Amino acid sequence: MQSFLAPQRLLLGPGPSAVHPRVLRAMSTALIGHLDPIFLGIMNDIQTLLRRVFATTNPFTIAVSGTGSAGMEAAIVNIIEPGDHVVVGINGVFGTRLATIIERCGGNAIRVEVPWGQVIEPGSIAEILQRSSPVKAVVLVHAETSTGAWQPIEPIAALCREYDTLLIVDAVTSLGGMPVEIDQWGIDVCYSATQKCLSCPPGLAPLTLSQRALSVLKARRSPCPSWYFDLSLIADYWAEQRRAYHHTAPISMIYALREALRLIDEEGLPARFSRHQLNSRALIAGLMALGLSPLPPPDRQLPTLVCVTVPAHIDNEEAVRAELLRRFGIEIGGGLGPLKGKVWRIGLMGESSTEANVLTLLNALEEIGIRSGWVSTPGAGLQAAAHTYSVGR
């Protein structure tokens, strides 16, 4: 068997996103013990930098070992106990997954469902909070990666304050690519993942808990049923004074995340958010010129993931994606569940969100379209994107 050398790929799918060479270099740094005082310093740095991207002063801000789903599971399994009423917004794959985890914890998931691509309106949450009290938590997906929909958080956060309910938010495809304001909006529990807008390999799930969430944790009637994700135990490892062994930290991933967060800090969040905005607008303009329209309504489209409907004149969307990968080395995503075969999901996350990548993808798509006959005005996509760039700055 030969050693593996990865082919060149342009990662424009729903994750993982491109990783900066500095992050890859950090990962190849020699190991030190996970209780070494130097390593504990690295963990402090991670906490400081994570608080900046989460825009919070929450002392409990950590990186859970595992991918985004580990963050999701940690959030739910610690807060929800058997019999708890939990309102969950469902407009795609991840809301559905959250409801499943809530039910596995014995919670009563009160589903607020809207068609995929739409977002949850505050009014429908208010209605349930009025009649089903007490509700332990409201759970929302900020950026629904399966549909490209951008869920407004603030109005629902205000409702949660009013009804003294916790707010749990999935920020897996938003953190580091668009504003996530934990303190200002009033989010109690929020988790993310490293391989999306933080541009790090998959393997850690940033997580932050407010004081309100911590008191709920302390007041649990029963111990957390998951030992690995029990935050009251994990807290002793992350607490600056203690650093007691719970499980071995994934050391190389912690190195990687520290470097990825340093890169974000150097760019600055406002610049990073406008970069994501501009590139997604240019891509959407280009795709629309090719006859592909975004699934979510105009004011609800994510700047980190563009989800477009594949028009009827493209009869084999899977073949187009396969050709993008084989001939151009470009990865984009297809649809999940009911959207399988109907949409393309193009991630412009972190390092992947660049003007060059947008133009490269549009160019490759047009070339495929010209050859297969569904692009009739060559250059229309590039022209629309170029126009956005020329006026957008």
Ligand X SMILES: *Cc1c(COP(=O)(O)O)cnc(C)c1O
Residue ranges that bind ligand X, judged by CB under 6 A: 15, 67-69, 72, 94, 141, 143, 145, 170, 172-173, 193, 202
**Which secondary-structure segment (H or E) carries 136?**
none
Nearer to ligand X, 50 or 193 (CB): 193
Nearer to ligand X, 353 or 388 (CB): 353
State the minimum distance, in angstroms, from the CB of residue 93 to ligand X: 8
Nearer to ligand X, 179 or 202 (CB): 202
Nearer to ligand X, 77 or 285 (CB): 77
- Return the structure tokens found at 55: 């825009």
State the minimum distance, in angstroms, from the CB of residue 316 to ligand X: 26
Give the CB-nearest residue to ligand X: 68
Nearer to ligand X, 56 or 173 (CB): 173
Q: Is 390 exposed, middle or buried (0-12, 13-18, 19+ CB in 10 A)?
A: exposed
- Return the structure tokens found at 120: 């949850």
**Residue 142 CB partners (closer than 8 Å, separation 6+):** 150, 151, 153, 169, 170, 171, 173, 174, 180
State the minimum distance, in angstroms, from the CB of residue 94 to ligand X: 4
State the minimum distance, in angstroms, from the CB of residue 238 to ligand X: 20
| Cβ 86 vs Cβ 110: under 8 Å | yes
Rounded Cα distance between 245 and 299, Å, is 47
Nearer to ligand X, 15 or 303 (CB): 15
Angle between helices 317-328 and 355-372 (to 10 degrees): 120
State the minimum distance, in angstroms, from the CB of residue 234 to ligand X: 18
Alpha carbon of residue 120 to chain centroid:
18
**Residue 138 CB partners (closer than 8 Å, separation 6+):** 86, 87, 88, 89, 125, 129, 156, 159, 160, 165, 166, 167, 168
State the minimum distance, in angstroms, from the CB of residue 65 to ligand X: 12
